[in-house]
Structure formats: structure tokens, C-alpha cells
Chains A and B, each alone.
Chain A
């Protein structure tokens, strides 16, 4: 991989790695009396490892000019592996943290394994580790193919991919150390946030520069979604993380916002992270890989444009539905609620567009678990956006807010939509990237598919039940006008659902582990012969 870089690119890479090492060392020295020292050390070690890797290959011969007549796929291959590594980590912590709610002793009396630290490790691991790497990886593939243009250089894709993973490492290791700014989905502290801004600007420029080299006059719609993802996430990240560090030697920073302004900024960020990280980017994935796999063009290209602008401009105003019945002005709450309901139109336009694309290809959906992953993703996208609009209505929210219903809703989206579309895309992408005819084992894709579907259904049904029971118990009054149930009674009532949720999560995790093995074997080996797949399929029917 490093031998593929020109000498100049190796030198630039080396300089960048050394700058990161020095910055890490400086940060560690400045923060030597603080937990910041560990992060300084981590950054320095990360930079040093990259620098050493480049140095060891410095004298290798230059790559030939023929590389320019191929796409640049090395970072994509590494990105696929990183995506699956983060999937395993993030989903494992997810199963653990859900088991912790059912069996609190699983924290083993260790501060780092307490719920408050494991939970962000799970959310960051799956959203930013798994989801973010999947988005960066597939976006670099889609932008090259749809533009018919090679990435403009061979350094910036590595800077983006490795730099982003350094951010994820800082985030997750920080939680275990107790470093957090306590903003949901924006927990990392100031130095990690600044680093992400630099990486993200490089990502944006890389994407724009590739598009500028395109042959097609029109930019294919998948790129619009990826661009919206990159651009809006930059904007959200910068505004929500405006903070002043206590000192340059301290991990702690304080937000420039206070009170209800802080809450509104946080949920403007939080909901648009759902919109532009977990929706727009993955819709970009869907608009490329689903038609490609089904070998049918998207049902309506015009509809995809209308829903793009609908999603982009309506989502922006929906965040305040997270703050119903708070100090936020009533009209702002109503605004968020109204836009959330209207949002159903472009959301269902996208889901419908995806499903109608499959008309005429349903036999492929039946036979091909990879395409079925993407079909189920479109269904769950439709279901969870409907549920989202519904939950945003103030009266519904009065029952659902702060209950497990919200958790169920998030996982219908995250497991059913985000993860399913990602696995569909990865199973399409991985064989192509390693020049295989097909994935190592179609049977294992089938196993993964059913584990994922069963796991998601168990999870979501458990949380619907527990959330509604919880919500009802918290609002049941007796004849004397006081609450019928104590909080602890509602907690006890949750116990069976928490166990069920852990079982559902475990199914999903096992499926992802099977997927990681299958992708690993695709990299290492030739695909299994077709006859072996058919024979094996009989003995692998889930539920037997």
C-alpha cells in the first residue's frame, strides 16, 4: 500500500505523521498533571506508528504511471476492514451495556465499566466507528465510480481515514478514562473536536476535488447525499462544540452556550446528526448500491431529487421536538413538531423509491441475501421515519419521552436501516475490491441476514413493550391524586424486557461477527464453489 505512494507523497505523509506525533507529545506534556496526558501519548503513538510504517517503505521503487488508469481503492479496502472491526467492538459493548441494565453486577466494580462510560463507548463505537467508517469508505468508492474519476491524490484519503479513526480512538478511550463534555453524540472534548474539524475539511476538499475531475456533466444523486452529509456534519460539529478549555493542559472545556440555548443547540446538533450522519449519508449509499445490486435503475430519479431537498431543508428545523415540555419557548417546540411531521413526505418518498426500484427484481431479493439486506433496510427506513414523526407529536411524546420507546425507535433506525444498508453495501463492495466473483460464502450472508432480522425484531418489540409500560406506569394516578407506582416498581417491571433486549442485541452481534468472518475469508480465499453453498444452505436454516 505505501509502495503505491510516490516518493513525494511518502514524504508528505511522513511530515504529517511527524507533526501529529509532535502535537501529541506537546499536548501530553502540557497536560502531564491531567488525564489529558494519556491522550497526548495516544496521539503521539498513533503518529509514530504511521511514521515508522512510511519510513520502512521509503526506499521502495516509485509506482508506474499505469496506476492513474485505475481507481484508487487501497483506502477503501482498509476502510472495509476498519468498519467491521468497529462493528464488532461497538456491538459487543452494546450487548454488554444492555446486559448491565438487566444484571447490574456486570459492571465488576470497575469505574471504567460503569453504565455512564460504557454507553457512550457503545454509541460512539457503532455510530462513528462503524457508521462513519462505512460512510467514508463507500463514499470514496461511489464518488470515483459515478464520476468515472480517480481520487485526485494518494495522501488525503489516508489522512481522512486514519485521522478519523484517531478521532474515534480518542473518543472511546476518553470515555473509559472519564473524559466527556456530556453532550449526547458529541462527548469528545475540545482537542478531539478540533482534530475532527481538520480531518473533516480535508474530507470535504477531497470529495469536491474528485467531483471536479468527473466526466459526466451531471452529478449522480448519491453524491448529493454524501455531500450533504459531509457539509452539514461539519457545520453541526463546529457550532455544537464551541467551547473554551480550562487551559491548554486540561482535558476539560466549557461550552459557550448555557441553559436553554445550550439544550437547543445540542438537539439541533443531535437530531441533525441523525438526519445527515445516519440518514443522508446512508441514503447516498442506498441510491448507489441498491440499483447496482438489483441491476435496475432507480425507480424515479426526479423523486430522488425532490426528496433530497425535502430531507435537507426540513430536517434542519426538527430538532426542537427533543425538548417538548421544557423551558424552550412553546412555539419553537411546535415548529419542531410540525417539521417532524412534514418530514414524513420526503422520507417515505425515498423509502418508496427504493422499494419500487425492486419491482421486477423480487426474484433477486428472494435469492440474494445481500439485496435482501438493502430491501429490509428500506422497509425499516420507512417504518422508523413514520415512528419518528409520530413520536415528535407533543401528546405522543408526553407518553414516550424518557422511556425505552425512544431507545426502541433509535434501534429500529440504527439496526434496521443504518446497519442493514451498510451490510448490503459491504457485501456488494468487498468481493469487487478484492477481485473476487462473489462473497466467500453466500450461506453465511444468509445466516447473518436472519440473525440481523431476528435480533432487530426482538430488540424493537422488547423496547416498545417496555417503553409503553414504563410511560403508562409513570402517569398512572390513584384516587387520592398521587402516583400509583414508584419509580422502582416501573424498573422492576422492565426486567424481562431488558433480558429480551439483550438477547436481540446478541443475535445482531453474532450476525455481525459472522459477517466479519465472511469478509475476512473473502479477502483471504477464493469463494466457495456454488454447489457447496447449496448443500450447506440446507443445514443452516435458522431456527432448526
Chain B
């Protein structure tokens, strides 16, 4: 079994923790600005104001 002492845990957190957060930020930005998503977001943005009849769809 790997000996998980305080020092190795700290080393892991300080290195991989950083990469994971950078990867996550990049992922979020790519998703947000992905051109194919533009129409979908524009629709979602207006959708709540278009709901006039106040009834479920089925």
C-alpha cells in the first residue's frame, strides 16, 4: 500500500490540484464560447419570458 503521509498529500494537492482547476476553467470557457452552443444559450435566455400560458407542455 502507498504510504499516504502528510507531505505526499500536500505535494499532490499543490500540483494536481492546480492542474485540475486549470483544466476545469478551460473546459468551462470552451463550453461557454463553443459556437454551436450559441443558439441554444440565446434561446434559453429568452425562454423564461416566452412562457405566457403557464401550462406544462404535455
On A, residues with C-beta under 8 Å from B are 68-71, 144-146, 148-150, 215-218, 220-222, 288, 291-292, 295-298, 301-302, 305-306, 309-310, 313, 331, 432
Contacts and interface: CB of A to CB of B under 8 A. Distances in A.
Interface centre among B33, B42, B44, B46 (most CB of A within 10 A): B44
Contacts of A144: 56
8 nearest A-B pairs in the assembled complex, by CB-CB distance: A301-B45, A215-B57, A309-B28, A148-B57, A150-B56, A297-B45, A301-B41, A218-B44
Contact of B48 (A69, A150, A292, A306): A292
Given A301-B45, A313-B21, A331-B10, A306 B51 contact: no
Nearest to B46: A297
B28 A305 contact: yes
A295 B49 contact: yes
A295 B46 CA distance: 10
Say which size band chain B's interface belongs to.
20 to 34
23 contacts: A69-B55, A71-B55, A144-B56, A145-B51, A148-B57, A149-B57, A218-B40, A218-B41, A220-B47, A220-B48, A222-B48, A288-B48, A291-B48, A291-B49, A292-B48, A297-B49, A301-B42, A301-B44, A301-B45, A302-B33, A305-B31, A331-B10, A432-B54
A425 to B, nearest CB: 13
B29 interface: yes
Contacts of A301: 41-42, 44-45
Main secondary structure of the interface of B (DSSP, over half): helix
B44 A216 contact: yes
Provide the main secondary structure of the chain A interface. Answer: helix
A22 to B, nearest CB: 36
A295 B50 CA distance: 10
Contacts of A295: 49
| Chain B CB within 10 Å, residue with most, of A218, A222, A288, A295 | A218
Given A71-B55, A149-B56, A218-B41, A305 B32 contact: yes
B47 A70 contact: no
Contacts of B33: 302
A366 B27 CA distance: 40
A71 B56 contact: yes
Contacts of A298: 45
A304 to B, nearest CB: 9
A284 B11 CA distance: 36
Contact of A216 (B28, B31, B47): B47
Given A71-B54, A309-B24, A331-B10, A221 B44 contact: yes
B47 A306 contact: no
A470 B29 CA distance: 44
Given A68-B56, A297-B46, A313-B24, 11 more contacts: A144-B56, A148-B56, A216-B47, A218-B40, A220-B44, A222-B48, A295-B49, A296-B49, A297-B49, A302-B41, A306-B29
A221 B54 CA distance: 19
Interface string B15-38: 000000100110011011100000
Contacts of A68: 56
A392 to B, nearest CB: 18
A330 to B, nearest CB: 11
A298 B28 CA distance: 19
Most buried by B among A71, A306, A331: A306
B17 to A, nearest CB: 9
Given A71-B54, A301-B41, A302-B33, A146 B24 contact: no
Contacts of B51: 145, 148
Nearest to A292: B48
Contacts of A218: 40-41, 43-44
Contacts of B47: 146, 216, 220
Given A313-B24, A331-B10, A70 B55 contact: yes
A297 B43 CA distance: 10
Contacts of B57: 148-149, 215
Find the residue from B28, B33, B45 having the highest chain A CB count within 10 A: B45
Contacts of A296: 49
A216 B14 CA distance: 41
Contact of B32 (A292, A302, A432): A302
B32 to A, nearest CB: 5
Nearest to B51: A145
**Max count, chain A CB within 10 A of own CB: residue among B10, B28, B40:** B28
Nearest to B53: A148
A429 to B, nearest CB: 12
A317 B4 CA distance: 21
Contacts of B43: 216, 218
B58 to A, nearest CB: 8
Nearest to A342: B21
A113 to B, nearest CB: 46
Contacts of B48: 145-146, 220, 222, 288, 291-292, 297
Nearest to B33: A302
A75 to B, nearest CB: 16
Contacts of B54: 71, 145, 432
Contacts of B31: 305
Contacts of A313: 21, 24
Chain A CB count within 10 A is highest, among B25, B29, B32, B55, for: B32
A220 B40 CA distance: 10
A69 B56 contact: yes
